[in-house]
Amino acid sequence: LDSLLQEIEIMLRFRTALVLLNTCNRVTRNVAKNTDLNLGRTISLGGFFVSKMASTWKEVDPAENADPELLKKARENPKEMKDEDWGILLTSIQYQVARGHGTERPWTGLYNDNKDKGMYKCVCCDVDLFPSKYKFDSGSGWPSFYDTLKIGKEDNIERKSDGSFGMRRTEVLCKRCGAHLGHVFNDGPGPTGLRYCINSASLNFKKEDK
C-alpha cells in the first residue's frame, strides 16, 4: 500500500510540471513541422512518461512493420543496436518507456487487463520475461507479476537501485538488451512477496497455443 501511495504522490507532485511538458510537446511538434525536422519523439521528465492518454491506445508488435534486417539485429544481437535503431524499430511510446526509462500512465496499458495464457516478452529483443501464470491484479494500473521466468536459478531480469524522485526503488530491466521494464516492490502476494510493476509498452505477448 505504501508503494502505491508513493506512486500516486509522484504523479500529483509533478502535475504542474507535466502540464508544462505537454505545452512543450506541442511547441516542439510545431517547430519540427515548420523546420522539417523529423523528431518523432515526445518529451519526458526525468523518466516520467505521460504521453499515453487514452485507454484505447493499442501498441503494436515492432515485428509487424519492421525492416527485416533491423528486426533480426534487435532479436539476435541487441547489444549492437544504436539508439537511432531503436527509434526506428519502436513506436514513440515504446521508445520513451523501454529506451528512455519512462512510465506509461496507469490503466492505459494494453496488457493491464490481459488474462490470456502465454508468455510476456521484451518488446525490444523478444526474450522471455514473465509467464502469465505469475500475473495478478495488483490494482496499481500496471501489469503486475509476482515472479519471473526462471532458467535454472537465473532469469532475464537485471535489477538496479533507483533513487529518482527522492525515492528508493528497484528498477527492473531486460538483462539481454537493457530495456527499462518497470520496478519491483516488496508488497506482492506469496510465495515470493514481490510485485513486478511493468509497463505494457515494454512488453510483447505470445499467446499460448491451445
**Catalytic (active-site) positions:** 197
Provide the CB-side half-sphere exposure for 92 (13 A, CA).
13
Distance between CA 117 and CA 178 in Å, rounded? 26
CA 183 vs CA 61, 86, 157: distances in Å: 22, 22, 11
Cell output for 161: 537501485
**CB-CB contact of 98 with 109 (8 Å):** no
**CB-CB contact of 82 with 90 (8 Å):** no
Distance between CA 13 and CA 19 in Å, rounded? 12
Angle at 105 between CA 113 and CA 194, to 5 degrees: 60
